[in-house]
Structure 1
């Protein structure tokens, strides 16, 4: 792996610092420039790196000196165990999909698209305009900026059949990302100790939100085509649940999409049981061979609570989502969001609405569709060639992930560890099951960095699969 000039200087200075006494002064910037034949900017960058690492300190007007390394003493926090008591609900650990990794690995585990798939120019320009406006010092309405509310409402209204009443702007509540929105929904619609029906496998963040609220999850088996309506109907009848969490479009992790017939069947079931469908449309902007078709577009009776996030398609720094609900449910949701977060940053809302109302936004989405298709196909083809034992049940028509079924008996965690040892980071599928996993699975994100390395990653996975395969007689 190549190193920058700054890295080279950092490495050389660290060796000198380790051999120097505490308090020793480093050569001046001018001397270091001459010694390393580098620019002053490069030398200053290296010195800032060493300062952040805590090995040197800068004394303005005097110079840079070797810093004393403090030996950390162990702290005893045992008293907090008694003070906090036993947790009422065991909170699952964060998914491996959130892990930060070095730049020199092939990262297939993340749940976010690479920066080159984002509308960076639009986002930068929107932040610049917002910084020059009154949005930097203003407080928005609790439910959100009216223009952003109107945009979310109009996006859903545009695909609703004639004869249905479209949502109004006031039906929209702007949230600081969909994750906090799921916590609010589970708290207001379900309540601690009560059952929530959820597809299995499903989004790990929904399971985390449910655990934080104390909701009891009831798994409904779901595949690339979605859940079986009979299973869903039976679960409602047996549990008395009043909500079902589903991802009808490009589900995380399977990439599955419900048919229009299944959407209508699910809608009929929740209406019959006087319940809610919590529709998470996180991947609305990631269609490849088809567009997202929200179930909420076929409901005006308030049974579908619809949430759509812009965080993954606009920028991870723009944590903004829109939630559409009607009737008393909307009022309860708004009251809870106000109690939890007061309001969403005016600047972030202004940036979001600026980006998605630019003519170039639609151009970006068309380009994004082509890029996702190329990445998906490249990874899928590489897996078929180099890791055929990793079965891809269905090629997703949208979303960011491939969901792979591994042979029974595969040592999943050994496989993940072996891949990482060879520079490929993958996500074990266990995180996406609300109960016991239905088998060994992997979720691979094809929207991450360096798609040119997909064939190499597939070769590594193929070798690791052979090593982790069950042995005869075991």
Structure 2
């Protein structure tokens, strides 16, 4: 008898035996089946594999083979994926991945809003603020290059690395730059490269929710360090390093998300010194480098760092388009070797046509014109929204007018929960971000983050404030 027919015969016999058993009952061992049915061990293994593929049995190494729970076949209803809860047990849970979570992922910007809703949420420019024509022209020029579809170097195209190096300061060279596919993926890579799972990572409180999600997905424990009007407090940062033994700080020194704070000049040196004294890395998220409102933007922390303490993360995405997923990590020393190694494991390289388009965009005079126009538009929108809030909701406190970035950080009266306010706002046609998701621990007060860059125009910002007042009044 052939192996195939022996396997089929044994499968038929076992199906009959399984029908007489209950879920969880144990089948005879492989040795018993070999002896009882006069077949070889290969036949038994194949038969059990076929039954497992059918869902009739489950195998548990070291324990045996058991009758599976019989699930009724569904003809059009929702599939039963409840088994995944067991299979995923023990893996880090990523907040925001739940179907019922606040729309838009880490920055609340990916889920389409209902028609007529004014967006004060999200972390990207409205389409009419994006340099759409310049982007299209840059992509067209890039596509005409004869090597546009060749494999890109793992570290990124040399001209693009040079652009990011010049942007960072005179002390940074192209060899210190690794081109990345935007900021969020690079942030996830940095957390995995630098910190061991289960370890602490110090973060400003409040901070960017995408950083909290990436840290937790990497198995890290975010530890809050309070801020004030001048940024993260160096004294409490030193205490946090001493108490936790952390070897990593994540911070946003320039146009902090969500508060818009700029780390004061004296603290910029202090924070780096505190991290260096602790033998720790400092991830500088410089996402808003191109989002100033017209005043000079401070140099990044990495510009004055000579010891490899600072690892800078920057991006072109925020000032251009959500789909220009081009950023860079700037690092010195062994950590850069580790990051390059992870690049080869994760994705090999960033798509060359997109890198070529980024070079074309940033090297063209239209880019500088766009940034000047954008600075004016953001400054005007910021002022319009702040003034409208002062008129319509005078007891809501705007935490200072930021000199860059995309958001206002608003403190609510103590009697108004931020999630309830956000829900009421959405019901009245305004999307806002509840503040509690920006805190790694219990929030000290209720806040909203309001974007002045996501709405279509200044009139929408004024109307949004009016709707918020109506929602607050219960109208």
Tell me the TM-score normalized by structure 1.
0.80
Q: Whole-Å Cα distance in 1 between the matches of residues 351 and 473 of structure 2?
A: 50
Aligned residue runs from structure 1 range 435-446, under 5 A: 435-446=441-452
Contact 2:381 2:452 in 1 (8 A): yes
Contact 2:107 2:209 in 1 (8 A): no
The total of aligned residue pairs comes to: 390
Of residues 155, 158, 166, the one that matches 1:154 is 166
Deviation at 1:157, TM superposition (A): 2.1
Q: Whole-Å Cα distance in 2 between the matches of residues 279 and 73 of structure 1?
A: 48
Aligned residue runs from structure 1 range 55-454, under 5 A: 72-82=76-86, 84-93=87-96, 94-95=105-106, 97-98=108-109, 99-158=111-170, 166-293=171-298, 294-451=300-457, 452-454=459-461
Q: Whole-Å Cα distance in 2 between the matches of residues 121 and 416 of structure 1?
A: 35
Contact 1:95 1:204 in 2 (8 A): yes
Deviations 1:264-300 (A, max 9, x none): 1101111111211100000000111433321112212
Q: Of the two, which has the highest radius of gyration?
A: 2
Q: Secondary structure at the match of 1:459?
A: helix
Q: Which consecutive unaligned segments of at least 5 residues does structure 2 have?
A: 1-74, 97-104
Deviations 1:1-33 (A, max 9, x none): xxxxxxxxxxxxxxxxxxxxxxxxxxxxxxxxx
Q: Which consecutive unaligned segments of at least 5 residues does structure 1 have?
A: 1-70, 159-165, 469-474
Q: Which residue of 2 aligns with 1:464?
A: 471
Deviations 1:364-387 (A, max 9, x none): 111111111110000000000001
Q: Whole-Å Cα distance in 2 between the matches of residues 413 and 242 of structure 1?
A: 34
Q: Whole-Å Cα distance in 2 between the matches of residues 372 and 221 of structure 1?
A: 28
Contact 2:291 2:405 in 1 (8 A): yes
Q: Which residue of 1 aligns with 2:72?
A: none
Q: Whole-Å Cα distance in 2 between the matches of residues 464 and 223 of structure 1?
A: 30
Q: Secondary structure at the match of 2:296?
A: coil
Q: Whole-Å Cα distance in 2 between the matches of residues 194 and 376 of structure 1?
A: 39
Deviation at 1:255, TM superposition (A): 0.6
Deviation at 1:424, TM superposition (A): 1.0
Q: Whole-Å Cα distance in 2 between the matches of residues 310 and 103 of structure 1?
A: 29
Deviation at 1:136, TM superposition (A): 4.1
Deviations 1:245-279 (A, max 9, x none): 00000011111101111101101111111211100
Deviation at 1:426, TM superposition (A): 1.0
Deviation at 1:87, TM superposition (A): 3.4
Deviations 1:216-240 (A, max 9, x none): 1111012342111100001111111
Contact 2:107 2:123 in 1 (8 A): no
Q: Secondary structure at the match of 1:249?
A: coil
Q: Secondary structure at the match of 1:353?
A: helix
Q: Whole-Å Cα distance in 1 between the matches of residues 194 and 107 of structure 2?
A: 29
Q: Whole-Å Cα distance in 1 between the matches of residues 296 and 225 of structure 2?
A: 25
Deviation at 1:91, TM superposition (A): 1.2
Contact 1:197 1:245 in 2 (8 A): yes
Q: Which moved more, 1:449-458 or 1:366-375?
A: 449-458
Deviation at 1:121, TM superposition (A): 1.4
Aligned residue runs from structure 1 range 37-52, under 5 A: none
Q: Which residue of 2 aligns with 1:12?
A: none
Q: Whole-Å Cα distance in 1 between the matches of residues 394 and 160 of structure 2?
A: 46
After superposition, the CA RMSD in angstroms is 1.6
Q: Which residue of 1 aligns with 2:31?
A: none
Contact 2:124 2:321 in 1 (8 A): no
Q: Whole-Å Cα distance in 2 between the matches of residues 322 and 95 of structure 1?
A: 20
Q: Which residue of 2 aligns with 1:7?
A: none
Deviation at 1:73, TM superposition (A): 1.8
Q: Which moved more, 1:146-155 or 1:414-423?
A: 414-423
Q: Secondary structure at the match of 1:437?
A: coil
Deviation at 1:103, TM superposition (A): 4.2
Q: Whole-Å Cα distance in 2 between the matches of residues 85 and 117 of structure 1?
A: 42
Contact 1:396 1:402 in 2 (8 A): yes
Q: Whole-Å Cα distance in 1 between the matches of residues 160 and 417 of structure 2?
A: 48
Contact 2:294 2:372 in 1 (8 A): no
Q: Whole-Å Cα distance in 1 between the matches of residues 308 and 377 of structure 2?
A: 36
Q: Whole-Å Cα distance in 2 between the matches of residues 204 and 297 of structure 1?
A: 26
Deviation at 1:417, TM superposition (A): 1.8
Q: Alpha carbons of 1:135 and 1:372: their partners in 2 closer, same or farther (altered >3 Å)?
A: farther
